[in-house]
Amino acid sequence: MSRKNHIIIARLKKKGFSTEMSKHIKLTFQHNGCDTQIRTWVSHGKKEIGDRLLSLMAEQLHLSKQQFMETIDCTIDEADLNSIYSGKDLL
């Protein structure tokens, strides 16, 4: 299982993540217009991200692997993410 990094970036941005360019692209979840401590990083370019890195990204975003895959496959939306993060006292 793998996903293209530019698709992951685009889909996370639609779910409330902001991007910051540096050595890697930092994606930070925003809540009520403010950055949270929920973040992950993606490499520049159009590369495939493999299963191991997808699992690591899910962990960084405080999501199960399945929740992360559903987020980037668009079955979990921004409201669902807010619910998940509120339930974990992250917002």
Domains in the chain and their CATH numbers?
3-87 (3.30.920)
- Please report which confidence band the pLDDT of residue 79 belongs to, taking 50, 70 and 90 as the band edges: very high
* Residue 86, pLDDT above cutoff 70: yes
pLDDT reported for residue 46: 67
Instruction: State the Cα–Cα distance between residues 40 and 25, nearest whole angstrom.
Output: 8
CB 54 within 8 A of CB 44: no
| Residue 82 φ/ψ, nearest 5 degrees | -55, -40
Instruction: State the Cα–Cα distance between residues 65 and 50, nearest whole angstrom.
Output: 12
pLDDT tens track for 12-61: 999 999 999 988 899 999 999 899 999 999 987 768 888 999 999 999 99
What SS3 class is residue 71? helix
